[in-house]
């Protein structure tokens, strides 16, 4: 897609804002619409946009598949470990009340942490899936579409 100047410029402008919006959705999910699932998908879509415009090889340098293979399980582990942390602190599994001195603060902390875990896994899985498809596609000429 070397000659699509408009697409390249516009996507270069948009990608930082997409990432910023994803972070906002991730950490503002307790107050407005949003949360880990949506933020993960938005985060992934920024990288997918980059890969579509600048080529998958460049995207692989920005976000290497090796890092993704690390991030996919890490999100789930963060989630599961939060549950164990609340057992260790004297509550039930995934009972965030005990995570801080005040039950409400504990709930806030717990929700923030597990949403982060959800976001990590979702974003990593989505980009991984895209890489898996894109890695098998031979370059398609514009005329073919």
Q: Which residues of the shown chain bind another protein in the complex (CB under 8 A)?
A: 25, 29-35, 37-38, 40-42, 44-45, 48, 52, 65-66, 69, 72-73, 75-76, 79-80, 83, 93-94, 96, 103-104, 107-108, 110-111, 114-115, 117-118, 121-122, 124-126, 128-138, 140, 145
Please say whether the beta carbons of 75 and 117 come within 8 A.
yes
CA distances from 17 to 38, 59, 119 (A): 15, 18, 17
CB of 73 to another protein, least distance (A): 7
Please say which residue, 32 or 90, places its beta carbon nearer to another protein: 32
Please say which residue, 3 or 138, places its beta carbon nearer to another protein: 138
Please say which residue, 8 or 52, places its beta carbon nearer to another protein: 52
Q: Rounded CA gap, 21 and 14, in Å? A: 11
Please enumerate in sequence order all residues whose Cβ is within 8 A of that of 82, keeping only pairs 6 or more positions apart, or say none. Answer: 94, 96, 110, 113, 114, 117
CB of 144 to another protein, least distance (A): 8
DSSP 3-state of 94: coil
CB of 92 to another protein, least distance (A): 10
Q: Rounded CA gap, 145 and 141, in Å? A: 7
């Amino acid at each position: 897609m070397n000659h699509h100047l408009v697409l390249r410029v516009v996507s270069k402008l948009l990608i930082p804002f997409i990432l910023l919006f994803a972070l906002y959705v991730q950490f503002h999910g307790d107050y407005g619409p949003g949360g880990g699932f949506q933020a993960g998908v938005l985060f992934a879509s920024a990288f997918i946009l980059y890969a579509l415009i600048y080529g998958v090889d460049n995207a692989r340098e920005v976000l290497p598949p090796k890092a993704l293979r690390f991030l996919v399980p890490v999100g789930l582990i963060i989630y599961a470990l939060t549950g164990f942390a609340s057992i260790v602190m004297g509550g039930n599994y995934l009972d965030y009340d005990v995570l801080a001195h005040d039950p409400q603060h504990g709930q806030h902390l717990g929700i923030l942490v597990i949403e982060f875990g959800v976001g990590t896994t979702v974003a990593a899985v989505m980009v991984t899936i895209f890489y898996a498809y894109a890695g098998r596609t031979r370059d398609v000429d514009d005329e073919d579409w």
